[in-house]
Amino acid sequence: MKLKGLFSTAIAIATGLIVLVGYFVELPLLVNLRITILNWAIILAALALFIGLFNLLAVHADKVRSKKKGGFYSLILILAMLVTLALGLWLRPDHSLMAMIFNAFQLPVEASLMAMLVVTLTYASIRLLRRRSNLISVIFLVTALLILLGSAPLPFIGSLPIVSDMIRPFIAQVLAAAGARGILIGVALGALTTGLRVLFGAERPYGGM
């Protein structure tokens, strides 16, 4: 490992340990250090966001320059980004025009993509049996169907008596809740061991891995 790598690893491990111990041990010095380090991290994350935006700009500028397919859309993206940035800096983000830009452009586009999910997920459910035709897939689809039938009232019939009163609550509150907790415990343990690997320096996502 190069000297630069050693130095960054030592700093990362030391700050990680201070934050971890400061979280559990309530010594004023440690707690203050932890809060200061976390504030630095938030400032750095904001700066990284700005660098990320330059990356986005560079990628799309390259597409426009090299006249790649879809370059026109990249040009629109760059113009929209620059205009919004300039307006935000000039008027401040809480100005009504900024809210209007968000509500008139960003929100409808995201809502449309959300609506597309309905079609995508229905199609994915149909494909599931073709891709993985096993018992688990059948259980998955039957459960999804029962939850749908139990959640949404049907035309002319209304709520299905047994499905919406007994089966849906049992699946959602007992079976699904138990499974979800099990998965969440597993995810938490995985997150713990991943964090420890970083603290030990076995993984170095901060340069020269």
> What are the residues binding other proteins (CB under 8 A)?
20, 24-26, 38, 41-42, 44-45, 47-53, 55-56, 58-59, 62, 68-70, 106, 109-110, 113-114, 116-117, 120-121, 123-125, 127-128, 131, 140, 180, 182-187, 189-200, 202-203, 205-209
Looking at the Cβ atoms of 134 and 158, the one nearer to other proteins is 134
Closest separation in Å from C-beta 4 to other proteins: 11
Closest separation in Å from C-beta 79 to other proteins: 16
Looking at the Cβ atoms of 53 and 154, the one nearer to other proteins is 53
CA distances from 23 to 16, 33, 41, 177 (A): 11, 10, 16, 29
Residue 132 has phi, psi (to 5 degrees) of -130, 85
Closest separation in Å from C-beta 158 to other proteins: 27
The radius of gyration of the chain's CA atoms, rounded to the nearest angstrom, is: 26
Looking at the Cβ atoms of 47 and 86, the one nearer to other proteins is 47
Looking at the Cβ atoms of 136 and 162, the one nearer to other proteins is 136
Q: Is residue 115 a contact partner of residue 136, using CB atoms and an 8 Å limit?
A: no
Looking at the Cβ atoms of 160 and 204, the one nearer to other proteins is 204
Closest separation in Å from C-beta 106 to other proteins: 7
Amino acid at 116: M
Looking at the Cβ atoms of 148 and 183, the one nearer to other proteins is 183
Closest separation in Å from C-beta 105 to other proteins: 11
What is the CB-side half-sphere exposure of residue 192 using CA atoms within 13 A?
6
Closest separation in Å from C-beta 156 to other proteins: 30
**Where does residue 3 fall: left (phi above 0), alpha (psi -120 to 50 degrees), or beta otherwise?**
alpha
Find tokens 């609550």 and name the residue: 169
User: What is the rounded CA–CA span in Å between residue 185 and residue 158?
Assistant: 38
User: What is the rounded CA–CA span in Å between residue 209 and residue 206?
Assistant: 7
